[in-house]
Amino acid sequence: TQLLEQSPQFLSIQEGENLTVYCNSSSVFSSLQWYRQEPGEGPVLLVTVVTGGEVKKLKRLTFQFGDARKDSSLHITAAQPGDTGLYLCAPIQGAQKLVFGQGTRLTINP
C-alpha cells in the first residue's frame, strides 16, 4: 500500500517570504501532479512532473521531482496572499484513480 505524506500540514507565513512544501512516498511514481485548491472551490492542476530530477517553473512556483521519482517539492518565492490555499500532490502509478495526499494548507498573511 502506497504511503503518501505531505509536509508541513499547515504553514502560515508573511507576504514576501519564501517557502517549500514536500510530498513524499514509499513508492515510485510514473509521474506526479500538484493541484491548488482555494477556499470554497475545487482543486486546479498546477503542474505535472514526469521525469526523475525534473524541475518545472510556473512564475514564482518551482516544482521538483526527485531523482528516484518517490518525492516532490514545491517552492514558492516571495509569497503573496493570492497563494493562499490547499496544495495537494497526487502521484500517478498507472492506476486509473488519482489518490491525493492530505495536503499542505498554506496561509500568506499580508
Partner 1 sequence: NAGVMQNPRHLVRRRGQEARLRCSPMKGHSHVYWYRQLPEEGLKFMVYLQKENIIDESGMPKERFSAEFPKEGPSILRIQQVVRGDSAAYFCASSPRSTTGELFFGEGSRLTVL
Which residues are at the interface with partner 1 (CB under 8 A)? Answer: 6, 31, 33, 40-45, 48, 86, 88, 92, 95-103, 105
CB of 84 to partner 1, least distance (A): 14
**Of the two residues 13 and 92, which places its CB atom closer to partner 1 in the complex?**
92
**Of the two residues 37 and 73, which places its CB atom closer to partner 1 in the complex?**
37
CB of 44 to partner 1, least distance (A): 7
Question: Which parts of 8-84 are beta strand (E)?
Answer: 10-14, 19-25, 31-37, 44-49, 55-58, 61-65, 71-76
Chain position carrying cell 531523482: 67
**Of the two residues 27 and 78, which places its CB atom closer to partner 1 in the complex?**
27
CB 97 within 8 A of CB 1: no
CB of 99 to partner 1, least distance (A): 6
SS3 82: helix
CB 34 within 8 A of CB 74: yes
Q: Name the DSSP letter for residue 43.
A: -
CB of 55 to partner 1, least distance (A): 20
**Of the two residues 89 and 108, which places its CB atom closer to partner 1 in the complex?**
89
